[in-house]
Structures are given as C-alpha cells and as structure tokens.
Structure 1
Amino acid sequence: MRRGMTSALGVLLAAGATLGATVPVVAAPAPALDWQPCPENAEVQCATLPVPLDWANPGGEQIEVAVARRPATDADQRIGSLVFMPGGPGGTGVDSLLAGSPFSPELSSRFDIVSYDPRGFGRSNPLQCDTELVLAGPDILPGGPEKFEEIKRYNREVAADCRARTGPIIDHMDAVSVARDIDAFRQALGEEQLSLYGISYGTLVGQMYAENFPDRVRALVLDSVMDHSLSAGEFLVTEAETAEDSFTEFAKWCAEDAQCALHGEDVGAVYDELYERAEAGELHAPGDPSTPIGPVQLSSSTLGAFYGPNWQQLADQLKALRDDRPAPTALALPETIPHSVAAFCGDWNIDIDSAERYAQEWQRQNEAAPHMRFGLGGGVAWGCIDWPSPVQNPQHVPQIRTEAPILVLNAQHDPATGYNWATNVDRHVEQATLLTYDGWGHGVYDRGECTTSAADRYFVDGVVPPEGTHCAAVPPTENPTVRPYVGWGG
C-alpha cells in the first residue's frame, strides 16, 4: 500500500499487554503440539492449538488455531523455527505449506517452516457469513446521504449475520490477537525465539508480534509492508497513489514494448473510455452482454493484474473490452474473501461518519489516481463504516524495541503496499533496514537471486544488507511467478 506519512494515533503497546486492557495478560503455558501427518499431504505435519478467544480474558472461552510444519530437511544443520505469516487478511498459511515451502531450499533445509491459519479463517474457527449476503454488497461509489445510509445498513446486517452464525470470534480477529496466537505456539514448539517472515498483511502481524514480544524475535522480515501509522484519509489517498503509479508503469511498458496489445495507443485514454462506459452501465464482458462490468470491478481487476505484474495479459483484456471481442483469457475479477472485513476492521479505525466526508475522501482518491480512481484501500475500507465490533488494534506507530535487526523488503512500484509505506516503517523502526526492489508487483522475496539471497543470509547468519541496498528489476516477462489478487496477501 502506499504513500503519505503522518503518524495517526500514536498508541503505545506495552510488551505483554493487550491494546485497551487494564491488566497484563497472563495465559497458561501452551500445551505441546500433537503433530500428525496432514491428510492432504503427508510430507507436512498438522496440529491444532487451543488459545483464548479473547486474550484479555485468557481463562475464558477457547478456540483452536490450526498450525502446520515442514521439518528442516537437514536436521543436523537445523537453526530453529521460521514462521510464515500469510497475507490477506484471510490468507491461509496451512494451505501455503501444503502446496510447498514458500522459501528457498537453503532455508527449508535449515529451518522448520511453520505456519497457521489466522483465527477466524481457514481451519481456525472460521467466521461464517451468508454467502449471498456477502456477495450482494452495495454500490460503494458516493451518491449522497441515502447511499451512505445504505452502506451503513449493509455493514451492520453482514456483521449481525456473521455473529449469529459464528459468535464472538468476529470481535477478536485483529493482528494483535493473531500475534498472541503465534507466541502461544512458540511456547508449544519449545522455542525461546522465533524467526518470522510476513508477506503483505502478514507484515502487520509481524510488527504487532515484535511490539508485544520483542525479546522473542530472533529475526523478522517484513515483505511488502503495511504502514499502520496512517489515518483513514491518508490510508485511502496513499492507496490510490500507489495504484496510479502501477498504472503509469504499465502504460510506460505498453508504449515501449510491441508485445503490448495496445502498443502505439494512448493507454490512459483507452482506460478512461472503458471506465466511462462502466459508469454508464454500458461495459460488459467481451461478447457477453449478460455479464456487466461496473467501474469498481474494472478498477479492481486492473489492480489485480499489477500484482504479478501481468501486463501483457492486462493489455489483451483491455483491448478485448474496448473492441468487444474475446480475449485469450477472460477478465479476472478479484477473488472474494467473504469474512476478511472483520479482521481488517479490527485493525483500522475508518472514522468516516457522514456522506459528505465519504464523498470528500472519494474525491481525494480520484485526484490522486486520475485513471484508476481509487486503490485497494478504497475498495475495502468502506466495509468498516458503522461496523459494530470494536477496533481492537487502531492505527499507531508501532513501538518496536527488538535487539534483533529487522529487514524490510519492498518494490518501488507495488500496487498495494506502496514504497513510501516501506520508507515510513524504516524510519519508524530504529533497527530496521530497507532493501529496495527496483521493479514492480507485490511480494519481493522470490523476485530474483538478489532479493532471495539477501533474505536468506539474514535468516541464516543474522546479517542485514547495507542500508540503501537496491536489487535490480526483473522484467515481468522473465519472472515466472504468478501472484493472484487476494487482497493484500497476494
């Protein structure tokens, strides 16, 4: 996510205390994990761990968190446990490990790779909501007091439905609660310290872990980093700016590379025409008038293509939309994660309390992103307006006091976690070092030898690259990694 930098609430979290709690949290020692081969893949071990539903009341109701482990392939050279913190919110770390190790063979040989499904998702007491209701969301573009009230009513209705189906987990899905769950399975693993890697929204969990448990951090990589210091307005504008930056880079590529289906055309003008048709209700899937595409869908699917980035495919799709002819691949709409708003709203105070303010924030986004009109945040944050659960972990500058250095990775042209979010975090955290990937897309670790080896050396030897280190961009057509658009966790 991207630019802008004013610290917001400046809340100081004392190590070992839950935000808003009046007494320290004291939990019973975590039981040992009963590792068994996972049914889906016997190479991976699975277990569950009971944790408090509400960490402010550790003796109260318990839930189970699903965890998974890929043991180090070289037991004699094992260093410890490396925790993969998935993005999202809503990404499942268990599924990631079942599919393979997210790290290089060197790290997989030296560490037990451990991950989890965050509370409220996957196998960890998942929040259940009515699918039809979730998919029947309102038009989120501003339209006066009546539409603003419609958004508020919808958010309250979804929250009430989720609560009726799943109970109070809806109030306890914030990143601090997830960080406490991680420390519970640190105890269950028998580790004094953890090495941790967070991707996208997982970087917020990583920051909250380091803030609350600084002595238990052996190493921490924050890849494509969230900036939790931003006010709601700053969050929305910087998200729009980074989306527009990615569009600008796409248009530059299209002007220079004959492989672009729109090469030689004004890409911005093509996109603006499509957006205007979408606003007028005149845009539909190529050759299929029964499948309309609205302006929010158009911008969201375009943004999704920037995650890879998948520029050539995007150009093919935009040309097909413009010419109403089939594309080699269909225009991919963003994946719906039906329950993710509950986690996001536990971490972000979106204090938009009137139709006038809502319209103002959309205007600011439109000005910051004249083609894209808004960014990922604008497509998500509306769900927190009048959300009835408390904000357990509101924005603040994380107070991180680890002895271990922290490595921050970010692309210069990330469509979701903007580069100046990374520079803000680097500035806020004294012991952080920022490594810049001079390219595009979301997620840096596996972009090339430069990024992978820098992170691997840090995890194995504890050595961070020199401040100001840059890794050269890998042209998108040469990078085989496909990164689907799933919110911040791509």
Structure 2
Amino acid sequence: MKKIIYTFLILNLLLVTVNLYAKNELIQWKQCNSVLKGEHFKTECGVFKAPLDWENLNNTRKIFVDFIKVTEEVQKNKKDALFVSPGGPGGNSVEFAKIIAEKNPDLLKKYDIIGLNSRGFSESMNLQDCNKFIDYKQLLNPIKNQNDYLNIKEYSHSLQNECLLINGDIMNFLSVDQITQDYIGLLEQLNYSKINYFGASYSSVIALNLINSFPKYIDKVIIDSNLNQVQTYKERIIGQNKAINRLFDHLNIKKSLLSDFELIKKKYPKINEYIILNSIMEMIKGNGFKLEDLNKKLTLLKEGQVDFYEVFNKDESGNQNTYPLCLDIPSNDLPLSDVTENMETAKNDLKEFGKVTPYVLAQNICSGWDVAKKVEYNIPNNIQVLILTSDYDIITPKEWSLSLVPIIPQNKVVSFNGKIHGVYMKSKCARKIANEFLLENIFPKDNINCTE
C-alpha cells in the first residue's frame, strides 16, 4: 500500500513539474537593459516566443516579442496584472511600463505592471522601418482624375511590396488580431487570470479588440487619446479638422498661420503645398509644441534664411514602423467619386487651408492595402471602460474618442481642457481619476471635465 501511495505522489510531482514547464516554455528570460529609479522596484525582462500565426497553430514558426514585468521589490501577496502600452503603433511598451511604475508607485501595491511590445517592434526582431521608402511628394500628389487616383494606389502597393521584400512575410502577421492574442498568450504564460489594461493612442484599438474578442479575460480598461476602427474615412477627416480649427482658435493663430502658409508656398514653389501643411501640423501636434518655436521657424522660412528641409523633417516617425496600422484600416479601395467627396469634405471643413491633414496622409499610404477586415464591435455591458481625451488634441481628436461612447455600454469620459496627446501622463486630474478606478474600484458616476 505504501508503495502505491509513494508511486502516486511521485507521478503527481512529475505532473506538476510538466505543467509548470508548459506554462513557461514560451518565455525566455533575459537581463533588463536599464533599471528603475527607486528602491522598491523589481524588474524582470523576457522574450515571449509567440506563435507566428495564432489562427494556424500547426504552423510551428515563432515570433519573438519583448516584455517587462515590474513588481514590488518584496512581493507580499499575488498581484493582478496591469498591461500598459503607449500606442504607436510601435511605441516601446517596455520603457512605458517603467515610466508608469516610476510615476505611480502606488499601483504596484495592487498590480504587477506588464509592458508587452507589439510584435514586429521588439529589439529581438530588428525589422527595417518601411517609412524610409516613402516619397511624400509622390504620395501627396493631388487627386484630380482617375489616373491620379490609380497612380497613388499603385505607388502604395509598391511600398507594400518593398516592405515585404526587405522584411519577409512576417509583415503579414502584424495585425491587431495577432497582437491581441499575444496578450492572452503571455497572460497565460505568466499565470495571471485577468488583464487590466491601460492603452494610449493606437493601443486603444488593441484594448477594444481585447474586450471584443476575449471578454472573459478582461477586468478594468482605460483608453487614452483614442482611435475608432469602425469610423469612416470621412468621419476621421471631419474630426481632425474640427480639432485643428479648435486649436487654431484657442491659440489665436488662424489668420497669421494662413498668411505664413501662403508666403512659404510662394517662397518654395517646387515643394508640394501638402508637405508644407503637413510639416506645420507635425510641429503643432506634439506635446512639446511652443508657439514661439513655430514662429521662429516660420520667420526663417519666410525670409529665406534657411532651406525648407533643414527646418521641417519630412518623416518624424522615429524608429516606429507604422505600416502595420494599414493592415487594420478597412480598405480605402474606393471609387474616385467617393475619394473626391471625402477630399471636398476636408476642404469645406477646413476652409482656410482646404488641404489634407496628417491623418489623410496616413489613409493615402494605406489605400493600397486590401487585407484589412471590417470590424464589428460587440462590447459586453459588464466591463467598465474609462475614456480619456483632450479638447485640443489634433492627433486623435476628441471626436474620435466620443464616437466610441455608443459602442461601449459601460463608459465614462474624462475630458482635459488642454492640448495634449496622452492625457494620463500630463493631467493630474485625469490621472487621479484613473488611479482611483484602478486602485479603489471607483468608477465615475458622470462624465468629468478636468481643467488645470
């Protein structure tokens, strides 16, 4: 009898060992590149060896995705998981998790903070940035007839092919659906039961896809400066133009900027005016924008003291690779009449400039990508979502965030009266509300306006 019991215990021990191995077999731990400032943090870094294609697990190829887990130095009890991402696409979630922990150490009393990079952007992957292939002058040619439209589409397809050529077919597996399943896969590997999620900018798309596809794994969700995948091309343009006009009115620069724009166009007749406008928008939309800096650069340009390309950087994407965004925008393979109507909408809505805005640029880049599917949200009513937005954000306008309200049954909107893309990190009021939600389960009874 003793022998049977002993054998039974040994078999159980082996079973537990095998189970633990299975739980962690897709994780390779590694040394973190940098440490956090503070005495009470502990960081663990690793690579998640995710299936290349979650839809076909018979395909044994793997894709390596970097992640970090930030915890209290001494773990007193098991914590919940708070996944954080800064957006991008291609923002560094590993570094972002460190920043969130440093600025909000109280969160570590309840959560382990996890930063999972989007597939394709990890240090382990070393993909080439496809933005460097883009000829913005060619891409921003005005669409006057069917040939112009076909040329832009053909050029966009050529960019796609060049990107695939240099990076291989891995580019076909960088979609939001695949990224979303990486989160669920890592959640299970790290032995957590639920995801609490904070996603800024593009990561709001990941958040909504997580809720939509895997609701049983989701607890609290905060989305900040948001996109709505189901918005039409026209709705996006209208929202961004409203935000631009709001900002220009707020800064009281509409008339002077229009005058400057016209003078710069005359000074540089060979430069496509779309590029001039887009460059001005790039300067204004950043969180570090200062009106005096813009005026200095515009003065230099008007007086011809510097070359245009010395003042404005055509491509401000940094190390981010924005092409995967195209994989998840429903195809803009529209007839010319619809494109013309969309452009006219932009023109009428932004009367002073009457040209394309930066988001239209992104839409044109993506016009040749036909792989996106139409998204239909079916968000359950038991998941609370806090929506953060800013009145003068022209990257992801307030209108885009508000368009999510009818889609999310349990939502509250926190609006910040400022020019910020990424409200949580800049608004003390919004951050307090968000942290109360995460730490004390206090969900606002009404929408809130933060003024600071």
Identity %: 18
AA aligned opposite 1:365: A
Distance in 2 (alpha carbons) for counterparts of 1:282 and 1:344: 32
SS across alignment from 1:446: helix
Q: 1:322-362 CA deviation, whole Å, 9 max, x = no partner?
A: 44468xx9556551358744321221114243445434322
The corresponding residue for 2:25 is 31
Summarize deviations over 1:423-452 as a string: whole Å, max 9, x none.
221222111111121222211112333111
**Following the alignment from structure 1 to structure 2, what is the Cα–Cα distance between the partners of residues 33 and 341?**
27
Q: 2:366 maps to which residue? A: 384
- Look up the SS of the partner of 1:35 in the other structure: strand
Q: How has the CA–CA distance of structure 1 residues 80 and 360 changed in structure 2, closer, same or farther, with 3 Å as cutoff?
A: same
Q: Superposition pairs for residues 450-461 of structure 1, below 5 Å?
A: 450-461=429-440
Structure 1 unmatched runs, 5+: 1-27, 252-266, 285-291, 475-490
Alpha-carbon distance between aligned partners in 2 of 1:131 and 1:217, rounded to the nearest angstrom = 34
Structure 2 match to 1:217:
218
Match of 1:92 in 2: 92
Provide the residue aligned with 1:153 in structure 2.
Answer: 154
1:193, CA displacement in angstroms?
Answer: 0.5
Deviation at 1:225, TM superposition (A): 1.6
Partner residue, 1:54: 53
Q: 1:30 & 1:347 partners in 2: Cα distance?
A: 30
TM-aligned CA deviation for residue 275 of structure 1: 2.7
Distance in 2 between residues matched to 1:131 and 1:243, nearest whole Å: 25
**Aligned-partner Cα distance in 1 for 2:396–2:129:** 28
- The one-character-per-residue Cα deviations of 1:346-381 (angstroms, maximum 9, x if unpaired) are 211142434454343222212212345333321211
Q: Stretches of 4+ moved more than 6 A in 1?
A: none
- Please list, as runs of the form range in 1=range in 2, the aligned pairs for 1:21-420 lying within 5 A after superposition: 31=25, 33-41=27-35, 44-60=43-59, 61-73=61-73, 75-76=75-76, 79-97=79-97, 101=101, 103-123=103-123, 125=125, 127-128=127-128, 133-135=133-135, 138-144=138-144, 145-251=146-252, 267-280=253-266, 282=268, 294-308=273-287, 310-312=289-291, 313-324=293-304, 331=312, 334-336=315-317, 340-371=321-352, 373-387=355-369, 390-391=371-372, 393-396=373-376, 398-401=377-380, 403-420=382-399
3-state DSSP class of the match of 2:425? coil
In 1, distance between residues paired with 2:120 and 2:138? 24
Report the Cα distance in structure 2 between the residues aligned to 1:77 and 1:450, rounded to whole angstroms. 30
Following superposition of structure 1 onto structure 2, how do residues 471-490 of structure 1 map, counting pairs within 5 Å? 471-472=450-451, 474=452
On the 8 A contact 1:74/1:109 being kept in 2, the answer is: no
- TM-score, structure 2 as length reference: 0.82
Return closer, same or farther for 1:352/1:174 CA change in 2, 3 Å cut-off.
same
Letter of the structure 1 residue corresponding to residue 49 of structure 2: P
Distance 1:182 1:301, change over 3 A: farther
SS of residue in 1 equivalent to 2:120: coil
The secondary structure found in structure 2 opposite 1:71 is: strand
Letter in 2 for 1:276: E
Check the 8 A contact 1:211/1:399 in 2, yes or no.
Answer: yes
> Does the 8 A contact of 1:409 with 1:434 survive in 2?
yes
Task: Decide whether the 8 Å contact of 1:49 with 1:185 is kept in 2.
Answer: yes
- 1:172 Cα shift? 2.3
Per-residue CA deviations over 1:269-325 (Å, capped at 9, x if unaligned) read 3322333345456279xxxxxxx6853243344344233262433344334434446
With a CA cutoff of 8 Å and minimum separation of 6, indicate the structure with the bigger relative contact order: 1
Contact 1:243 1:376 in 2 (8 A): no
Mapped partners of 2:278, 2:136: distance in 1 = 19
Answer yes or no: is the 8 Å Cα contact 1:73–1:110 preserved in 2. no
The question of whether the paired residues in 1 share the 8 Å contact of 2:85 and 2:198 is answered with yes
Distance 1:382 1:226, change over 3 A: same
- The structural deviation recorded for 1:29 is 6.3
Q: Match for residue 12 of structure 2?
A: none
Structure in which a larger fraction of residues adopt helix: 2
Q: In the alignment, is the contact (CA less than 8 A) between 1:178 and 1:205 conserved in 2?
A: yes
Check whether the contact 2:140–2:272 (CA below 8 A) recurs between aligned residues: no
Using the alignment, how far apart are the partners of 1:185 and 1:352 within structure 2?
Answer: 35
Measured against aligned partners, the alpha-carbon deviations of 1:93-134 in whole angstroms (never above 9, x if no partner) come to: 124346674752222454222112211223363543666523
The residue type equivalent to 2:140 in the other structure is I
In structure 1, distance between residues paired with 2:77 and 2:150: 60
Distance (Å, rounded) in 2 between the aligned partners of 1:371 and 1:72: 53
CA 1:209–1:124: 2 relative to 1, 3 Å: farther
**Is the CA contact 1:129–1:339 (under 8 Å) kept in the aligned structure 2?**
yes
Return the letter of the residue paired with 1:82: L
Query: C-alpha separation between the residues in 2 aligned to 1:82 and 1:103?
Result: 15
Matched-pair contact (CA < 8 Å) for 1:240–1:376? no
- 1:392-447 deviation digits (Å, cap 9, x = unpaired): x4343x21116331111111222122222222212221111111212222111123
Between 1:303-312 and 1:149-158, the stretch displaced more is: 303-312
> How far has the Cα of 1:186 moved from its partner?
0.5
Aligned length: 420
| Counterpart AA for 1:66 | D
- Tell me the TM-score normalised to structure 1 length: 0.77
Aligned with 1:49: secondary structure? strand
Q: One-letter code of the match for 1:120?
A: G
Q: Which runs of 5+ in 2 are unaligned?
A: 1-21, 37-41
Q: State the partner residue of 1:434.
A: 413
Distance 2:126 2:381 in 1: 32
Distance 1:88 1:136, change over 3 A: same
Q: Structure 1's 122 and 137: CA in aligned 2 closer, same or farther, altered over 3 A? A: farther
Q: Structure 1 residues 303 and 108 mapped into 2: Cα distance closer, same or farther (>3 Å)?
A: farther
Letter in 2 for 1:36: K
